Structure 1
């Protein structure tokens, strides 16, 4: 990312990096400073709107440098947008006013649908720009059969980071059912270690047992997200969906969590995990960067597995997809040709390599022919394996715009033993109803 992530994902990763809400700046790949976008000397100049923070700029500059070397007839300039709601509003305003630069990156999934792609974006269906894009990504940037974007960054998963050394010491195997997870947690607790790390000092992390469990919900009912959006499914009344809340309560009731769960933050959890004092940590795999900062010499002692449900046969990963790069329909003629070349480069092995050089990948690239560097962390390799085996499905936010604002607070209450799982699920359904009505969704 720089991902202007709405909770839970795209907002969930906002926790990982402190993003600077700086004034808009324009820059080329090599230096800061404004410049005209006029074409001269047979070269076409296009502008790419991307995040203004350091990571976003470094990644875009790496891509632009490699792209301009392969395409000397095109110059790409970078324009910066702030993170969070300010950046989100900027994108919508520029699209509505016809002032969007030639290329821009933005969310995929349900938030992509909110920028009126059919009205504002250039269709890429059948174009070389999307020729190498993994079909798993297409639904995140499509309206009907029309595709509008290419992936930018890597996918990641919601599941459990675990200490592989402790697992080996205790003779444990990666669980593929919740019953096996329970057995492992009991064994870890009996060995005198924290079985399940919780870090409510950063309240978003309390949501993982629910959000990361959505693959299991979807596997039990492929229409669940559609019915949920239409007010036909509820967390409190669907046993499979309710299970995530119940699992969160079980973690507390069985005393599996660390004593300082109420105040601990993600770096604390990562240090505990790396040291083996805590053994399983429900978290987003993208937080491998926090682990690498907290314990760089122990990164590969940690692996990753999907949150298990009741059925081993359908065990798989709840996946969060990367942002995408789009072309507004105001980009025309030579600039449109150049913009499509840039998108085709981003969604190619050369584009993936350029991204990897700027920032180590935290999950798989959803582009044919792209491979992860050999030295990526074990967590990243484990997430890649779920994609390779086609044992993954999108997180709910990629399938539905419905998410109540109070989920993380309710999850903290359940995980702290304050509110029972069943009561919290009912409260969350009420929370969701208000939000769905604000969105004007049918059936609410």
Structure 2
């Protein structure tokens, strides 16, 4: 996924929150965007706007990498049209979530708050703290996934112009073709692929195990395998009647991840590798695969134009014989602080942003995004990698990060436990038990 999802996942693992999908995008290109009127289908409700007041300013809180050039352009156009100012209050990536929680608790939060979509919304007590946006005109034009990812308890709390995506193993199609390799359907087939690559001097997988935010993604992508083993698995976890340690397939999968490292599938530097080294690792052809989001190859192509990255494809994480593509709940959404005094101005702002012309302008600049959250907006097709993983997958589900309560809150715990497993200090079952222990603390804390 995009840099935005990468940042989102970093925040999740460090300060307890869940991108394409997480989440890495290329910088927004500068281009002129013609101001556009809201269409009739997305006009704000008839009400006396607070814009009639003098010097109305809508405050917007976000992590610094979640605000793009196009967001500022459209905000400026909205100000020119209405006189309502938009004040983006960006925060350091590694501090935003804590700042957000503190400001919500002290009732000092901005009018609009950026946050991850999915089950993580629930930990912010949305019914108490956020406006119900279910009846806003633009909500009727949501795609099903955008509506689901922005909703809790049947109510829509989020305004989403982001994108659904997910994580899978991106592979260099030229390398695979050279050695007559096909995407695997089982873990055994996957090991055969990796063994073939090793014999030919190619490191099978670039793994940045030093980055704690990245390790939980291997596990979160296995929702399909866990549900195949136990159809009620997710519900049990969210009702706190089941445990991750109950899943034999997840323990098996973690054992396979450990085995992959021991066999050299990650090379010699997995525990010292950082995310940014992946571009050269893949772009140079030294590595054949990388666990990334569905638009990552575009970034490799920008850095390595001769890599052939535009042809690369993707398949689901095969550990535990998983064949399901785990996708995000829809990236980053904007919720409205229930304490705001500017609700009518915010309605105008969201109506402006959700007009057909402005949505098209937004998505034309957000080349890092895939499927569009609103119906009827046709800009660029989904990436080759996303199309391939969807066609290869036996099914698609929201991943564990976005569907299981407190998974995101446990990111750092999962990562440290997986690192300890690689060092031989913990077993796969120990990793799952540490995840369960941390989730239990969260359940008790929210029950107070």
TM-score (normalizing by structure 1): 0.78
2: distance between equivalents of 1:63 and 1:115?
Answer: 28
- SS of 1:283's equivalent in the other structure is strand
* 1:221–1:152 Cα change, 3 Å: farther
Aligned to 1:440: 444
2: distance between equivalents of 1:148 and 1:442?
Answer: 20
1: distance between equivalents of 2:344 and 2:12?
Answer: 32
Aligned to 1:305: 315
- SS of 2:131's equivalent in the other structure is coil
1: distance between equivalents of 2:188 and 2:406?
Answer: 32
Deviations 1:175-226 (A, max 9, x none): 2333332232232223331122222233433333222223322344343123
Q: Which stretch has the larger CA shift, 162-171 or 397-406?
A: 397-406
1:4-23 equivalent positions in 2, closer than 5 A: 5-7=11-13
Larger relative CO (CA 8 A, sep 6+): 1 or 2?
A: 2
2: distance between equivalents of 1:372 and 1:216?
Answer: 34
Aligned to 1:226: 235
2: distance between equivalents of 1:266 and 1:41?
Answer: 48
1:87 offset after TM fit, Å? 2.5
* 1:378–1:175 Cα change, 3 Å: same
* 1:400–1:386 Cα change, 3 Å: farther
Aligned to 1:21: none
1:367-386 equivalent positions in 2, closer than 5 A: 367-373=374-380, 378-379=384-385, 381-382=387-388
1:382 offset after TM fit, Å? 4.3
* Preserved contact between residue 309 and residue 315 of structure 1 (Cα < 8 Å): no
2: distance between equivalents of 1:378 and 1:217?
Answer: 27
* 1:121–1:434 Cα change, 3 Å: closer
- SS of 2:114's equivalent in the other structure is strand
Q: Which stretch has the larger CA shift, 240-249 or 172-181?
A: 172-181
1:289 offset after TM fit, Å? 6.5
2: distance between equivalents of 1:354 and 1:50?
Answer: 23
Q: Which stretch has the larger CA shift, 130-139 or 354-363?
A: 354-363
* 1:133–1:383 Cα change, 3 Å: farther
1:57 offset after TM fit, Å? 4.8
* Preserved contact between residue 121 and residue 152 of structure 2 (Cα < 8 Å): no
2: distance between equivalents of 1:348 and 1:380?
Answer: 26
* Preserved contact between residue 266 and residue 290 of structure 1 (Cα < 8 Å): no
2: distance between equivalents of 1:406 and 1:100?
Answer: 28
- SS of 1:81's equivalent in the other structure is strand
Q: CA RMSD in A?
A: 3.8
* 1:116–1:232 Cα change, 3 Å: closer
1: distance between equivalents of 2:359 and 2:51?
Answer: 30
* Preserved contact between residue 5 and residue 14 of structure 1 (Cα < 8 Å): no
Say how many residue pairs are matched. 415
1:257 offset after TM fit, Å? 2.2
Question: Match for 1:253 among 243, 247, 262?
Answer: 262
1:406-421 equivalent positions in 2, closer than 5 A: 406-414=413-421, 416=422, 418-419=424-425
* Preserved contact between residue 63 and residue 114 of structure 2 (Cα < 8 Å): no
1: distance between equivalents of 2:138 and 2:55?
Answer: 18
- SS of 2:313's equivalent in the other structure is strand
Aligned to 1:136: 145
Any gaps of 5 or more consecutive residues in structure 1?
Answer: 18-28, 30-37
The reply on whether 1:279 has 2:269 as its aligned counterpart is no
* Preserved contact between residue 325 and residue 343 of structure 1 (Cα < 8 Å): no
1:112 offset after TM fit, Å? 1.4
1:113-124 equivalent positions in 2, closer than 5 A: 113-124=122-133
2: distance between equivalents of 1:326 and 1:219?
Answer: 34
The reply on whether 1:205 has 2:214 as its aligned counterpart is yes
- SS of 2:264's equivalent in the other structure is coil
Aligned to 2:96: 87
1:386 offset after TM fit, Å? 8.4
* Preserved contact between residue 120 and residue 406 of structure 2 (Cα < 8 Å): yes
Question: Match for 1:361 among 339, 346, 368?
Answer: 368
* 1:74–1:360 Cα change, 3 Å: same
TM-score (normalizing by structure 2): 0.78
2: distance between equivalents of 1:352 and 1:308?
Answer: 36
- SS of 1:261's equivalent in the other structure is coil
* 1:219–1:393 Cα change, 3 Å: farther
Aligned to 1:60: 71
Deviations 1:377-416 (A, max 9, x none): 53355467689x97232333443114533211222343x4
1:391-402 equivalent positions in 2, closer than 5 A: 391-402=396-407
Aligned to 1:425: 429
Question: Match for 2:167 among 148, 152, 158?
Answer: 158
